[in-house]
Amino acid sequence: MNLKHTTKYGAAALAVFVGMAASSGVAFAKKKFEPLNEAEFEQAKSMYFQRCAGCHGVLRQGATGKALLPKPNKAKKQKGTLKLGTKRLTKIITLGTEGGMNNFDDIFTKEEINLLARYIQMEPPVPPEMSLDLMKERHTVYVKPEDYPTKPLHNRNWQNFFLAIERDVGNIAIIDGDTKEVFARVKTGYAVHVLKAAEKNKVLKSKNPGRFWYTMGRDGLMTKIDLWQTPDKMKVASVQIAYDARDVAVSGDGKYVIGGGYWPPHFVIADAETMEPLKVVSTRGVNVDGDYVNESRVAAIYDTPLAPSWLVAMKELGQMWQVDYSDLDNLQITQIDSAKFLHDGFFDPTGRYFQIAANASNKMVIVDSKTRKLEAMIDVDKLPHPGPGANWNDEKCGPVSGTTHLGVGKVSVWGNDPQGHKSQAWKICYTVDTDGPGVFLRTHPNSDYVWIDQTKHPEPEVQQSIKVLDKKTRKIVKTIRVTEKKGYVAVHFEFNKDGSEVWVSIWNRASSLKPNGEMVIYDAKTLKEKARVKGLYAPTGKFNVYNRVNHVT
Catalytic residues: 52, 55-56, 101, 343, 385
Q: Nearest-CA neighbor of 142 among 235, 29, 217? A: 235
Are the beta carbons of 262 and 53 closer than 8 angstroms? yes
Planar angle of CA 515, 521, 525, nearest 5 degrees: 170
Q: How far lies 365's CA from each of 322, 341, 343, 409, in Å?
A: 14, 11, 10, 20
Are the beta carbons of 504 and 540 closer than 8 angstroms? no
Q: Which amino acid is at 359?
A: N
Q: At what angle do helices 81-95 and 110-119 cross, to 10 degrees?
A: 150
Q: d(Cα 32, Cα 30) in Å, to the nearest integer?
A: 6
Q: Nearest-CA neighbor of 239 among 13, 17, 537? A: 13
Q: Nearest-CA neighbor of 311 among 352, 359, 265? A: 352
The DSSP 8-state label assigned to residue 73 in this structure reads B
Q: Nearest-CA neighbor of 451 among 378, 520, 381, 527? A: 527
Q: Nearest-CA neighbor of 315 among 403, 380, 245? A: 245
Q: d(Cα 85, Cα 45) in Å, to the nearest integer?
A: 18
Are the beta carbons of 311 and 368 closer than 8 angstroms? no
- Residue 469's Cβ-count burial label (10 Å; 0-12, 13-18, 19+) is buried
User: Residue 321 pairs with which residues in a beta bridge?
Assistant: 312, 335
The two beta strands, 342-347 and 353-358, are antiparallel
* Other residues' Cβ atoms within 10 Å of the Cβ of residue 373: 13
Q: How many residues does the chain have?
A: 553
Are the beta carbons of 405 and 420 closer than 8 angstroms? no
For residue 259, which phi and psi values (nearest 5 degrees)?
-125, 135
* Other residues' Cβ atoms within 10 Å of the Cβ of residue 255: 19
What secondary structure, in 3-state letters, does 168-221 show? Answer: CCCEEEEEECCCCEEEEEEECCCCCCEEEECCCECCCECCCCCCEEEEECCCCE
Q: Nearest-CA neighbor of 65 among 10, 143, 120, 25? A: 120
Q: d(Cα 284, Cα 265) in Å, to the nearest integer?
A: 6
Q: Which amino acid is at 131?
A: S
The overall longest dimension of the chain from CA atoms, in Å, is: 66
